[in-house]
């Protein structure tokens, strides 16, 4: 009962994506299974920090990485904060549990030449489906929006007069993303084709499937993988990689990291800094190649 209330809260109040909510649900279920396994009489509303420490040890011994354990702790921490807020518990047992030290995650990105090839070849058809698919990838790369944000875009969120897109991000936070003239023309073409494709049907959603329904995560993943596989040999080809590529290419071309943070919708600069590892490598390479003292020491 408490879990279902919490999941509704994440969906309705926090506007979390279905993918994120499913992950939270699994993490809570995993913890409840562990608690029941420890004792048939143990109540997960009355667990203390020692139970969480035992769970962390269990996950570590099961082979989970520190990063995976931390992600599960984030889910449970949020769940118990909710229980405390709703007065189901008197104290949060996780408040003194600190995250495990984890190696920084490496976010791969596509090269500029790969991105140029994507739209430089005749990969996309010129009908509704082809223009839609192209725009999905362009929007991910040109604006850096999240997959969940792209799926939830509505027609009313696109303002071609003001050259901007309104996005509802994590935590129900709204942000405005500017769009350039070339991109506006692509959007205008899609909107025109979309109206003809819908015919007498109605939909407030900006992106729709071939059956005129709202697009969903698997649909977008498949489109991204299909087209990127034609220009890149990278094993992983995901919407998030296009988001990271957006940030990396901006940084490489002189954009301020604080401005990139705002465009990405990050609440802290630390989140944005995870995206810059490849740019740091380029800076080091440029330094070693160009600085006179660096060249002398080779």
Our answer to whether residue 275 is catalytic in this structure is: yes
From the candidates 132, 146, 194, 261, give the one annotated as an active-site residue: 146
Give the Cα separation of 258 and 234 in Å (integer).
29
From the candidates 132, 194, 223, 243, give the one annotated as an active-site residue: 243
Q: Is the dihedral of CA 133, 106, 148, 5 positive or negative?
A: positive
Q: Are 92 and 80 in contact (CB under 8 A)?
A: yes
From the candidates 14, 170, 175, 184, give the one annotated as an active-site residue: 170
Q: Are 144 and 247 in contact (CB under 8 A)?
A: yes
Question: What is the secondary structure of 160-188 as a DSSP string?
Answer: TTTTEEEEE-GGG-EEEEE--HHHHHHHH
Beta-bridged to residue 214, according to DSSP, are 208
Q: Are 6 and 54 in contact (CB under 8 A)?
A: no
3-state secondary structure of 214: strand
Our answer to whether residue 240 is catalytic in this structure is: yes
Give the Cα separation of 3 and 7 in Å (integer).
6
Our answer to whether residue 298 is catalytic in this structure is: no
Beta strands in 37-173 (DSSP E): 158-159, 164-168
From the candidates 77, 132, 223, 266, give the one annotated as an active-site residue: 266
Q: Which DSSP category does 121 fall into?
A: S
Nearest to 266 by CA among 149, 113, 110, 181: 149
Residue 268 tokens read as 């802290």
Our answer to whether residue 243 is catalytic in this structure is: yes
What count of other Cβ atoms lies within 10 Å of the Cβ of residue 145? 26
Q: Which DSSP category does 20 fall into?
A: H
Q: Quick one: the chain helix, strand, coil %, rounded to 5? A: 60, 5, 35
From the candidates 2, 14, 71, 240, give the one annotated as an active-site residue: 240
Active-site positions?
A: 146, 170, 240, 243, 266, 275
């Amino acid at each position: 009962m408490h879990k279902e209330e919490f999941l509704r809260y994440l969906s309705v109040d926090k506007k979390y994506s279905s993918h994120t909510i499913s992950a939270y649900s699994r993490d809570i279920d995993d913890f409840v299974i562990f608690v029941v396994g420890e004792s048939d009489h143990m109540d997960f509303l009355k667990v203390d920090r020692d139970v969480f420490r035992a769970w962390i040890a269990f996950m570590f011994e099961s082979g989970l990485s520190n990063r995976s354990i931390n992600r599960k702790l984030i889910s449970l921490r949020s769940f118990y904060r909710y229980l405390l807020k709703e007065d189901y518990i008197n104290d949060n047992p996780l408040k003194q549990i600190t995250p495990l030290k984890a190696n920084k995650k490496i976010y791969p990105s596509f090269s500029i030449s790969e991105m140029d090839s994507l739209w430089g070849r005749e990969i996309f058809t010129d009908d509704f489906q082809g223009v839609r698919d192209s725009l999905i990838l362009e929007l991910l790369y040109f604006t850096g929006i999240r997959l969940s944000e792209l799926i939830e875009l509505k027609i009313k969120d696109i303002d071609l007069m003001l050259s901007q897109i309104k996005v509802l991000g994590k935590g129900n936070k709204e942000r405005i993303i500017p769009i350039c003239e070339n991109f506006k023309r692509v959007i205008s073409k899609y909107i025109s084709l979309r109206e003809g494709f819908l015919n007498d049907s109605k939909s407030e959603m900006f992106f729709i499937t071939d059956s005129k329904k709202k697009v969903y995560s698997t649909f977008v993943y498949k489109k991204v993988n299909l087209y990127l596989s034609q220009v890149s040999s990278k094993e992983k080809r995901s919407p998030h990689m296009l988001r990271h590529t957006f940030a990396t290419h901006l940084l490489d071309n002189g954009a301020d990291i604080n401005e990139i943070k705002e465009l990405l919708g990050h609440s802290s600069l630390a989140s944005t800094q995870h995206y810059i590892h490849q740019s740091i490598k380029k800076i080091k390479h440029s330094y070693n190649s160009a600085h006179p003292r660096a060249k002398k020491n080779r």
